[in-house]
Amino acid sequence: MTAGISEQRLRIAGIIPESIVDGPGIRLTVFVQGCPHRCPHCHNPETHNPEGGYFITLSEILEMIEENPILDGVTFSGGEPFMHAKTLTPLAREIKKRGYHLTIYSGYTYEQILKKAEIEPAFSELLSFADLLVDGPFLFEKRTLDARFKGSENQRLIDVPKTLASGNVVLAY
Ligand code: SF4
């Protein structure tokens, strides 16, 4: 067990131990289970059912990260990571403590995340640990195969630290 993190369980659809398409560098990507957005032609429909997937503990995920010396970062994808904001926040904190880059994908826009944070503070807590937010739903009519790290043109690659510091959305790329 990794010291300093709980045995709290997270419901996930799966983990890709080394990905080069979910953010800069080589990353471990966690696909959480459960998504309320139901984007038409979603590439991961098996992640929608909030009762599906399987459980893994936060310490098990952190051990997978720490065991791989070539990782640059970690990505939370899904599914909808902000559905698991309370559970993911302590994991995000430990990931950042260890110096990894953290990317979060969300079907919510940045503005919707801030609005939801007014009644669910875990939304803003989780967001505060992200380096990069890929925001908004997948829109089939705006799909692209050319854009870096995103599936449709409406999605933005947001530099979260600069955005939170300035109060205005700052794009990372
Ligand atoms: S937010 Fe992502 S996982 Fe959820 S339906 Fe849309 S594309 Fe699929």
pLDDT of 29: 98
pLDDT of 4: 59
Q: Is 139 in the pocket of ligand 1 (CB under 6 A)?
A: no
Residue 16 has pLDDT above 80, yes or no: yes
3-class SS string, the chain: CCCCCCCCEEEEEEEEEEECCCCCCCEEEEEECCCCCCCCCCCCHHHCCCCCCEEEEHHHHHHHHHCCCCCCEEEEECCCHHHHHHHHHHHHHHHHHCCCEEEEECCCCHHHHHHHHCCCHHHHHHHHCCCEEEECCCCHHHECCCCCCCCECCCEEEEHHHHHHHCCCCECC
Query: How many residues make up the chain in this entry?
Result: 173
Distance 155 CA to ligand 1 centre (A): 12
Mean pLDDT of the chain: 96
How does residue 81 score in pLDDT terms, banded at 50, 70 and 90? very high
The atom of ligand 1 lying closest to the CA of 36 is: 4
Distance 105 CA to ligand 1 centre (A): 9
Distance 38 CA to ligand 1 centre (A): 6
Residue 54 has pLDDT above 60, yes or no: yes
Residue 2 has pLDDT above 60, yes or no: no
Check if CATH label 3.30.830.10 holds for domain 9-166: no
Q: For a substitution probing ligand 1, which of 22, 33, 39 has the most ligand atoms within 8 Å of its CB?
A: 39
Residue 1 has pLDDT above 70, yes or no: no
Distance 66 CA to ligand 1 centre (A): 28
User: Are residues 95 and 128 in contact, defined by beta-carbon separation less than 8 angstroms?
Assistant: no
Q: Is 107 in the pocket of ligand 1 (CB under 6 A)?
A: yes
Residue 108 has pLDDT above 60, yes or no: yes
